[in-house]
Amino acid sequence: MTVEPRDLAVQALYEADQRDLSNRNEDLPPKAARLVAGVLEHVQELDDEIDSASEHWRVQRMPVVDRAILRLGLYELRYETDTPAAVVVSEAVRLAKTFSTERSGAFVNGVLAALAERERG
């Protein structure tokens, strides 16, 4: 069974968050490594934007895995523009349901859909 680059990226971002966002990702496939590096490079701007779109949760109070998924999703919306917004949101919801909870899927969907509207109109 092949593990998707986004799954690997979320796992690496989760680990990086637990270690104060310092991460070595040379063991990741190229796409996953690129996504992780991009998120880590832009983490503050991503967090600021996520904060502005989340009505009840500040980024730092979110579960770590949900935070990683939202950062990855917003990074893809903003910087990986060849991927359609609907695919980014759908994949983020799948990741939330896989690695977090069913409720996290709805939360990620709501926040990322609002961000997708802002980013891509």
Range of the domain at 57: 5-120
The DSSP code for 84 is -
CA distances from 93 to 14, 27, 103 (A): 16, 25, 10
Q: For residue 70, what pLDDT is reported?
A: 98
Chunk the chain into consecutive blocks of 10 residues (it has 121) and report each block's average pLDDT, rounded to whole numbers. 89 88 74 95 97 91 96 98 96 96 93 95 83
CA distance linking residue 22 with residue 17, whole number of Å: 8
71: CATH: 1.10.940.10
Burial degree of 3 (CB within 10 A; 0-12, 13-18, 19+) = exposed
Q: For residue 72, what pLDDT is reported?
A: 98
* pTM of the predicted model over 0.85: yes
Number of domains in the chain: 1
